[in-house]
Amino acid sequence: MSWNTVGPDVVAGLFLGAFFALIAVGYSMVYGILRLINFAHGDFYMAAAFVSYSILGAVTLGTRINWGNVVWVGIVTMAAGGVLAVAVERLVYRPMRRAAVLSLMIAALGVSQILENGVLNIPAWGSNYLPFPVTPPTTGFDLAGVHYTWTQLGIVVIALVLIVVTYFVVNHTMLGTAMRAVAQDRAAATLMGINTDRIISLVFFIGGALAGAAAVMASLYYGQINYLMGFSIGLQAFTAAVLGGIGNVAGAAVGGLLLGILESVGTGLFGPQWALLFAFGALVLTLWLRPSGLLGERIGQRV
């Protein structure tokens, strides 16, 4: 066991955790409003990555990165992720609104398979690992003898900004109040004149858009995409949401960052073969001591 790398590993964990957090927020909001563990959420992320791959590939000449293109493709991809999530909600989950939660969950697994195998069967995409059309520069800064790139820093900052904006919308706007009302009591919210279907669609849109943002940034950073890329990260984001207290935005964000840090530090201390055991051991311990998750006391306000 070596303690030398704990400092850099905490920083590394923030980079990793930023992706978990972005995806976890969407997971958590959908759970909050529908009590649905939307296992297709990781595949919204995957599908969005492929959309950004195709658009960016079409507008990029050579491999020189054009940040202007990345930004507008990022925004378009967020919209695409949101639209996909809304479409899935409208076509699959809404007709099942009165069905048992278990049926909804199975339907979510079905959607996940449809998305994965759909992408697999699109000739321009397929099963192979595809190189992302642009590569970010490796220029950056040194911190305690470790080199970090500006791209890494930018990713964490953008992720945090998006989460803070989402938090603000949910907790400090009329729309957010409506979301929380629907989460608490859908029937009462309807009686108060809230269009619950529209609010649920909006929650799905926000979740899908955040997954889209994570997809663009992760593809840019890791450099390749694949039709199975959503599964593992989706499961970890779900874990992060539970760790933080599923159902609220801040909990998902904290859970995501914490899970990233636990995995990184676990890798450094015990080796990568122990990292997940370490991280998930911490999860079990947390749930044991605090079944509602770290920030779970706000369960009454879940969205």
Positions that interact with another protein (CB under 8 A): 2, 4-5, 8-9, 12-13, 15-16, 63, 113, 120, 127-131, 135, 138, 142, 145-149, 218, 222-224, 226, 228-229, 231-233, 235-236, 263-265, 267-268, 271-273, 275-276, 280
HSE-up (13 A, CA, CB side) for residue 100: 3
The residue among 64 and 98 lying less far from another protein, judged by its C-beta, is 64
Burial of 138: CB neighbours in 10 Å, binned 0-12, 13-18, 19+: exposed
What is the distance, to the nearest Å, from the Cα of residue 146 to the centroid of all Cα atoms in its chain? 27
Instruction: Select 67 or 129, whichever has its Cβ closest to another protein.
Output: 129
In the complex, the smallest distance separating the C-beta of residue 263 from another protein, rounded to whole angstroms, is 7
Please identify, using beta-carbon distances, which residue of 65 and 160 lies nearer to another protein. Answer: 65
* Residue placing its CB nearer to another protein in the complex, 4 or 124: 4
The smaller minimum CB distance to another protein, of residues 51 and 283, is found at 283
Q: Which residues contact 270 (CB under 8 A, 6 or more apart)?
A: 1, 278
Q: 291 — phi, psi (to 5°)?
A: -55, -25
For another protein, which is the closer residue by CB, 167 or 274?
Answer: 274
For tokens 């609104």, name the residue. Answer: 97
DSSP string spanning 164-175?
A: HHHHHHHHHSHH
Alpha helices in the chain (DSSP H): 6-34, 41-59, 67-88, 101-120, 150-172, 174-184, 186-191, 196-222, 229-244, 249-270, 272-289
The residues facing 157 across adjacent strands are none
Min CB(242)–another protein separation in Å: 14
CB of 65 to another protein, least distance (A): 11
**281 Cβ contact list (under 8 Å, min separation 6):** none
Q: How far is the CB of 187 from another protein (least distance, A)?
A: 36
CA 283 remoteness from chain centre? 18
Looking at the Cβ atoms of 95 and 271, the one nearer to another protein is: 271
Buried-exposed string 97-117: b where 16+ CB fall within 10 A, e elsewhere: eeeeeeebeebbeebbeebbe
Structure tokens at 277: 């055991």
The least CB distance from residue 202 to another protein, in Å, is 31
Choice between 204 and 221, CB closer to another protein: 221
Closest separation in Å from C-beta 16 to another protein: 5
Chain-centroid distance, C-alpha 285: 23
Shortest Å, Cβ 185 to another protein: 35
Instruction: Find the shortest distance in angstroms from Cβ 232 to another protein.
Output: 4
On whether the CB atoms of residues 233 and 20 are closer than 8 A, the answer is yes
